[in-house]
Amino acid sequence: MAKKKRKEPCDYGFPNPPFTKEMKETHDILAPDIFPIHMMLISEIFHMYGYRFVVLHDSGKAVIEKGLEHIHNDMCYPAICTSGQQLYALASGEYDPHKVALIQFQTGGGCRASNYIWMLRKALHNMGMDDIPVLSLSLSKMEKSSGFRITKMMLAKGIVAVIYGDMLMLLKNQVKPYEAHAGDSQAVVDKWVRELTEQFRRNKGLFGRGFRRNLRGIAEDFHRVERLNVKKTKVGIVGEIYVKYSPLGNNGLEAFLESQNCEFMVPGVLGFFQYMFDNQKTDRRLYGGTIRGAIAAKLGSTLVGRVERAFIETLREYPEFVAPTPFSHICELGDRVIGRGVKMGEGWLLPAEIAELLEKGYNNVICAQPFGCLPNHIVGKGTVRTLRNLYPKANICPVDYDAGASRVNQENRIKLMLAMAQESEAEAAAEPLTV
């Protein structure tokens, strides 16, 4: 019996023009803004390797409507947002459609996110732009292109950029609500993006002493920012990976919380990478995954674990900052709520991160979810009761984000959560001290 031929991307009915070596010098690569601080560093890495990488920052109703115009509304909200940013940029006239390519970041998981590439090609076909290449940036090597290659050094720098981005995000979120002079925290971020970019050009700051020295330097600069001694309501943010971080996806959630006199914490991106490594081991244990994949995951977990320890040990020198929880303990927290076999979307990591935030004193948690994202609704809303039983002070507020959802309703739900937080704080303050 003849072996069945594997389908190529072009078999799906839409053109798949290659990104050639010549295009590297002539084409802008348009990327959606997923992790605002991290993307600043990642884009610089692409630039230093000769790619004309552009992170799009367009936002607002017009961007969402452009996504809805060409992406079926049964698709998840992150697809509409990320593709909408790219299609809006193409329609704006700012970019030459004959000298542009689009890129999507994919994890290759078992959800609709694995179909973004095909949807984008269909949208381009409907817009009469079949000659625009669509690139996939994925650790699972979904596709290859002769003119677009991620070298080992680029990959190493990208992973380190994620770690630095986590440090900058974590400390900025803890310092900005209290800064005595507006803009000081952002100035520290901008300084270190410039400094790290220059180091990356010289292949410095990636490992060993240079890496640890940079972590201490970042922590020290945030430590020096003058802060006010004022009280803020502490809020944690978890959820689907795009909506959790992207201002377009969550309707400017972080800016809204700042306006409500809050300090917020968002778990780092590094934890999601560790979660994916752990999933490979779970696949081997429960679902018949390959030994090769499990071994690779174990190696990746070990390497990332060393970096994580350097991160945490650095922040222990600055007790005013809240350091991340070791991933091994996050796994334990998740195991108390749901099994690790539940790993579609953010899977068991989502309730584990809620538990992490609750343990750190962020008792008010917003679970940001795309409407209709079944994996995240199951492990988000579906685990709230268990989490409240484990943590009686938990004030958890699931919020759905969708193209048809009302921003006013979203913000009113959050205001109600904050009102409950303030009431709980007032009751705690009124309780008599016991000796």
pLDDT digits (tens, 9 = 90+) for 286-312: 888 888 888 888 888 888 888 899 999
Distance, in Å, from the CA atom of 1 to the CA atom of 234, rounded to the nearest integer, reads: 64
How many Cβ atoms from other residues are within 10 Å of residue 56's Cβ? Answer: 22
Dihedral sign (CA 213, 185, 228, 246): negative
Does 39 have pLDDT greater than 60? yes
Instruction: Determine whether 426 is exposed, middle or buried from the number of CB atoms within 10 Å of its CB (0-12, 13-18, 19+).
Output: exposed
Residue 9 is predicted with a pLDDT of: 44
Residue 8 is predicted with a pLDDT of: 44
Distance, in Å, from the CA atom of 435 to the CA atom of 432, rounded to the nearest integer, reads: 10
At the topology level, CATH places domain 12-146 in: Rossmann fold (3.40.50)
Distance, in Å, from the CA atom of 333 to the CA atom of 372, rounded to the nearest integer, reads: 26
Domain 232-268+324-427 sits in CATH at: 3.40.50.11900
Distance, in Å, from the CA atom of 61 to the CA atom of 369, rounded to the nearest integer, reads: 19
Does 379 have pLDDT greater than 80? yes
Query: Which of 148, 119, 120 is CA-nearest to residue 21?
Result: 148
Q: What's the Rg (C-alpha) of the chain?
A: 22
Per CATH, 12-146 and 232-268+324-427 having the same topology is answered yes
Q: What is the 3-state secondary structure (H, E, C) of the chain?
A: CCCCCCCCHHHHCCCCCCCCCCHHHHCEEEEECCCHHHHHHHHHHHHHCCCEEEEECCCCHHHHHHHHHHCCCCCCHHHHHHHHHHHHHHHCCCCCCCCEEEEEEECCCCCHHHHHHHHHHHHHHHCCCCCCCEEEEECCCCCCECCECCCHHHHHHHHHHHHHHHHHHHHHHHHHHHECCCCHHHHHHHHHHHHHHHHHHCCCCCCHHHHHHHHHHHHHHHHHCCECCCCCEEEEEEECHHHHHCCCCCCCHHHHHHHCCEEEECCCCHHHHHHHHHHHHHHHHHCCCCHHHHHHHHHHHHHHHHHHHHHHHHHHCCCCCCCCCCHHHHHHHHHCCCCCCCCCCCCCHHHHHHHHHHHCCCCEEEEEEECCCHHHHHHCHHHHHHHHHHCCCCEEEEEEECCCCCHHHHHHHHHHHHHHHHHHHHHHHHCCCCC
Does 434 have pLDDT greater than 80? no
Does 61 have pLDDT greater than 50? yes
- The arithmetic mean of pLDDT across residues 183-199, rounded, is 97
- Token reading at 68: 């809805």
Does 10 have pLDDT greater than 50? no
Q: Give the global pTM.
A: 0.91
Distance, in Å, from the CA atom of 80 to the CA atom of 303, rounded to the nearest integer, reads: 35
322-343 pLDDT, tens digit each:
999 999 999 999 999 999 999 8
- The arithmetic mean of pLDDT across residues 154-171, rounded, is 94
The Cα angle at residue 194 between residues 204 and 187, in degrees rounded to 5: 135
Residue 5 is predicted with a pLDDT of: 45
Q: Contact, 289 vs 280, CB < 8 A?
A: yes
Q: Contact, 49 vs 197, CB < 8 A?
A: no
Domain boundaries, the chain: 12-146, 232-268+324-427
Query: Which of 240, 177, 269 is CA-nearest to residue 398?
Result: 240
Does 139 have pLDDT greater than 90? no
pLDDT band at 143 (very low <50, low <70, confident <90, very high): low
Between 355 and 434, whose confidence is greater? 355
pLDDT band at 371 (very low <50, low <70, confident <90, very high): confident
C-alpha distances out from residue 290 to 15, 139, 285, 297, Å: 33, 16, 10, 11
- The arithmetic mean of pLDDT across residues 24-48, rounded, is 94
Round to the nearest angstrom and report the end-to-end CA distance of the chain. 83
Q: Contact, 30 vs 57, CB < 8 A?
A: no
Strand partners, 199: none
Residue 354 is predicted with a pLDDT of: 97
Residue 11 is predicted with a pLDDT of: 45
> What does residue 31 show for φ and ψ, rounded to 5 degrees?
-120, 140
Distance, in Å, from the CA atom of 243 to the CA atom of 228, rounded to the nearest integer, reads: 31
Q: Please report, as a single letter, which amino acid is at residue 92.
A: S
Distance, in Å, from the CA atom of 352 to the CA atom of 224, rounded to the nearest integer, reads: 32
Between 110 and 412, whose confidence is greater? 412
Query: Which of 265, 343, 390, 290 is CA-nearest to residue 107?
Result: 343
Q: Contact, 68 vs 94, CB < 8 A?
A: no
For the chain, what is the mean pLDDT?
Answer: 89
